[in-house]
Structure 1
């Protein structure tokens, strides 16, 4: 399994998976903005803290500066979202790692959409297949054209295939609800599918597809 670098951005704590709330996630961390003080309060010292820290009060910032050696401060008026900054930092310092992103859902819908659309940006093309967004109910992975095997997460019942762009040849050969060589010129969410066995497969020839495993 690939090494993992975890990123914590500033979404609501209520959306965190239990493993994060309980401090059970292994691997190093990049903290973005208020993610830094949140990790420190859990006894986790991130390798790097980045952001404009506009949501971190002065007393918290003093703690961040005293505990974290590597801090990169960006101006409040910037061309990147917090999550983009986190992923760019991971690409720079952990180029071979899988990138797991927490705190990227819940709260403002514009932030959620920006985080999903990150997978479409040319600057992130090299890491699309390394990205995961994880929250209390969902794990989202992003795929470029190819043939894939996917493994069911034990606590997740539902499976969705979301074409974020036009797609060609989307095929779901062994899911509960199959699909054969489907083409679409616009995004579609094939929601509420399910695994038919612990390992399933899918393929497509063009586009970007997000695969979501979910639980109620």
Structure 2
């Protein structure tokens, strides 16, 4: 309980913008359309994951969303089932915990496709700050002043920081990019991020 209060008690304002309503409508329509081919891709790779390594094809991970509300994100499993026996940790370059098929899925972002369901039910948006795990949210909010401001808008499947900063940026750099997104919140910016996201998927840039 104390953890939640620590980074939520600082959120004394709410992010308000007329585009939020249209953004939600856009999220629902696009996620439904995207899920039509995505479901078949998810099923195919779920089978491959089971054949490729021991364990189930999916895993759920707790993240911090809008106004600090915690939720589960779903992914196709790209690591060994014992990948975090020693606790949560960042993925490293050439991480030995990643399975053979996991390398391909992460490069093409296929492991993220199940999160379209998170978008559909309203826990996430297609575009927004990427949601962090509770322990990292707590840590970064203590180390970087204002980091919790990212919680004022719904987290995204992709985001401005992801397509402009990549995986290795610091929490401070991530905050700066996410705040820029919030300051320039619009359909035009979302479309630019969407196009860049498609380019990242096809090039595999920044994947781990």
TM-score of the aligned structures, taking structure 2 as reference length: 0.27
> Which structure is higher in strand share?
1
The structure, 1 or 2, with the larger RCO (C-alpha pairs under 8 Å, 6+ apart) is 2
Query: Which structure has greater helix proportion?
Result: 2
If the length of structure 1 is used for normalisation, what is the TM-score? 0.27
